[in-house]
Amino acid sequence: MLNRMEKIKKKKEAWETTTLKKVLERFPERKKRFVTGSWLDVDRLYTPVPQSEEEFIEKIGFPGEYPYTRGVQPTMYRGRLWTMRQYAGFGTAEESNTRYKYLLSQGQTGLSVAFDLPTQIGYDSDDPHSLGEVGKVGVAIDSLKDMEILFDGIPLDKVSTSMTINAPAAVLLAFYIVVAEKQGIPAGQLRGTIQNDILKEYIARGTYIFPPKPSIRLITDIFEYCAQHVPQWNTISISGYHIREAGSTAVQEIAFTLADGVEYVHAALQAGLDVDQFAGRLSFFFNAHNDLFEEIAKFRAARRIWAKLMKDRFGAKDERSRMLRFHTQTGGSTLTAQQPDNNIVRVTIQTLAAVLGGTQSLHTNSRDEALGLPTEEAVRIALRTQQIVAHESGVTNTVDPLAGSYFMESLTDRIEQEVWQYLDRIEQLGGMVNAIEKGYVQKEIQNAAYQYQREVEEGTRIVVGVNQYTLEDEKPDKILRVSPGLREIQIEKLRALRRMRQASRVKRALQKLEQAAHNRNENLMPYILDAARVYATLGEISNVLRHVFGEYQESIVL
């Protein structure tokens, strides 16, 4: 082994002083320093590094086995392709229901619900805060009634549904469970995911309601309730996506997401749960940007680190508890409003990154999303991009095809090292909640975002169509417009709902919820379910909790 390494090293030195040197004298390289999209140095050439058989097994190993560097399934896409799951939702429940049926008819295999911002922040459509926002970035859901319409004609035992909902996740999950009850489907058969990741809301996404402590209590209540009653449900999707969109590096995306994960595991243990009782239902959500190799290495490193954390730090015994399963969305912030067709190419590269990185499900962005909500045609091209990669590119034929690439393994190791450094630093700061409250995490991300944008403005980072290869006159693109007057429609529906339901039962359910909220030993899920069943609105339920828990104030870092 050593002898072989010695030989390669000598040969490399000889190459450097002869073949390479001659060329460099005549044709210098384009840049002094080559870096990944997130500023990790990239060498000219990677060659074998000394590695024992034990080290191979320990670091790279085999798919479906610890440390899962190569993937969580032994056969990966040879067995089953990833779930193609386009995030969609706009306007009223009726309009979104139509879009979901269309997507399912086009071969999509799972649903992903986008809620409008009032829903995500626990405001009814008639709340003054909701002005201008009803039905804009997702569907407006005010009560169980809207949820019944949203899933009308869609058998909930046949689809898996992902819901991007965080602060009021317990309420929307309750609506979903009750809709299933009405379809005659027991909660035990429901499959899907709620995002339910409040920490990244404080860091990057912004749809928080309550302060960290009661928010985390709601999360652990959901863990506990679902472990007993909705065992196939992914109770959280710990998300790096929005951290990356806020401008973080690839390393920061993984580091801060896994640090959030550590915080949730701690909280659940403190609430008295056993690690293997809930850890198998934790899932993750990452971004895929344009730097192909960095992204693939990032996914591989993330799996390895999480497996180590769960095994060594939390003593997880169940293999499922050690597997990092993740959803990916292509990078929204990489899309350009200029020459939007170019975005199809970007999304293709990002799709390859997600697939070569071993994702379990994928959303591909549409070409027109820097301009507004995507049109149906653009969404179809985005879905077709996944289907072409799945069925025509051949990358699905073998597991973890890039393993063993000198560059890929080196980059995976490098990212892992840098992530551990961040995890140590956050530990020193007293954990993720403290690090967020001190503004440390936000500051790190903002510095990266600032540097990135400076480079774009200075032209040292080329964005095709934006700072190079621009066009003088661009034709404006077709965009989707949400019909105006949505707020009025929702307000009318709310009025009708309030007439139809039994006010005294609503009042009683909300009172019981309030009492339970005051008592830390009560799990809130059954109370929220009871309120949902009698058609208490999302805003009413959220306001009860606001009253008991208070509201979070952003710590502004510039």
Partner 1 sequence: MRRKIRILMAKPGLDGHDRGVKYISRALRDAGYEVIYTGIRQSPEAIAHAAIQEDVDFVGLSLLSGAHNELFPEIVRLIRKYGGESIIVFAGGIIPEKDIPFLKEHGVEAIFTPGASFKEVADFIEQNKRRLSH
Task: Give me the residues that bind partner 1 (CB under 8 A), please.
Answer: 117-118, 120-121, 128-133, 136-137, 201, 204-207, 245-247, 333, 336-338, 370-373, 446, 449-450, 453, 457, 466, 476, 479, 481-482, 554, 556, 558
Residues 6+ apart with CB under 8 A from 433: 199, 212, 216, 263
The overall longest dimension of the chain from CA atoms, in Å, is 88
Residues 6+ apart with CB under 8 A from 99: 88, 89, 90, 376
Nearer to partner 1, 358 or 465 (CB): 465
Nearer to partner 1, 205 or 322 (CB): 205
Q: How far is the CB of 454 from partner 1 (least distance, A)?
A: 8
Given a contact cutoff of 8 angstroms between Cβ atoms, the answer to whether 118 and 135 are in contact is no
Q: C-alpha distances in angstroms, 282 versus 9, 219, 414, 420?
A: 44, 11, 26, 20
Q: How far is the CB of 551 from partner 1 (least distance, A)?
A: 10
Name the token pair of 291.
């730097």
Nearer to partner 1, 116 or 400 (CB): 116
Nearer to partner 1, 461 or 512 (CB): 461
Nearer to partner 1, 106 or 338 (CB): 338
Given a contact cutoff of 8 angstroms between Cβ atoms, the answer to whether 167 and 208 are in contact is yes
Nearer to partner 1, 238 or 243 (CB): 243
Q: How far is the CB of 489 from partner 1 (least distance, A)?
A: 15
60-65 contacts: CB < 8 A, separation 24 or more?
60/403, 60/404, 60/409, 63/399, 63/400
Nearer to partner 1, 268 or 463 (CB): 463
Nearest-angstrom CA–CA distance, 321 and 307: 8
Q: How far is the CB of 556 from partner 1 (least distance, A)?
A: 5
Q: How far is the CB of 217 from partner 1 (least distance, A)?
A: 22
Query: Using omega within 30 degrees of 0 as the cis cutoff, is the peptide bond preceding 67 cis?
Result: yes
Given a contact cutoff of 8 angstroms between Cβ atoms, the answer to whether 434 and 555 are in contact is no
Q: How far is the CB of 304 from partner 1 (least distance, A)?
A: 29
Q: How many Cα atoms within 13 Å fall on the side-chain side of residue 205? A: 24
Nearer to partner 1, 118 or 240 (CB): 118
DSSP letters spanning 316-380 = --SHHHH---EEEEE-GGG--SSSTTHHHHHHHHHHHHHHHTT-SEEEPPPTTTTTSSPPHHHHH
Q: How far is the CB of 260 from partner 1 (least distance, A)?
A: 16
Q: How far is the CB of 248 from partner 1 (least distance, A)?
A: 10
**237 beta partners:** 283
Torsion of CA 353, 89, 187, 156, to 10 degrees: -90
Q: How far is the CB of 480 from partner 1 (least distance, A)?
A: 10
Nearer to partner 1, 132 or 394 (CB): 132
> Would you tell me how many other CB atoms lie within 10 Å of the CB of residue 81?
18
Helix, strand or coil for residue 88? strand
